[in-house]
Amino acid sequence: MDKSYSIEVVCLFCDATLKIEEDKEYQSGDMIKCSACGELNDYDSVLDIAKEKGVELVKDDLEKELKSKFKNLFK
């Protein structure tokens, strides 16, 4: 199962995709300003939410894959 995933980091306030400056590196404690609503988003919080979404995507795909494999196994 070689699959790649792309997770967008979104604003905690308006769900818009957060745009970052290409040459800037963010670290724990940094605040990222949303270009849509202007609110400041905590770097750690938006990263945690993106990780959770990624885990859910992988988990769902793995579950589908396993169901498919086992369904064919017992035919």
Residue 3 or 72, more confident: 3
pLDDT for 75 equals 57
pTM: 0.78
73 pLDDT more than 80 = no
Q: Which of 12, 19, 75 is nearest to 48 (CA)?
A: 12
Q: pLDDT per residue over 10-61, tens digit each?
A: 999 999 999 988 888 999 999 999 999 999 999 999 999 999 999 999 999 9
Higher-scoring residue by pLDDT: 52, 75: 52
Cβ neighbour number for residue 33 with a 10 Å cutoff: 14
According to the model, what pLDDT value does residue 21 have? 81
Strand partners, 61: none
> CB neighbours (10 Å) of residue 34?
20
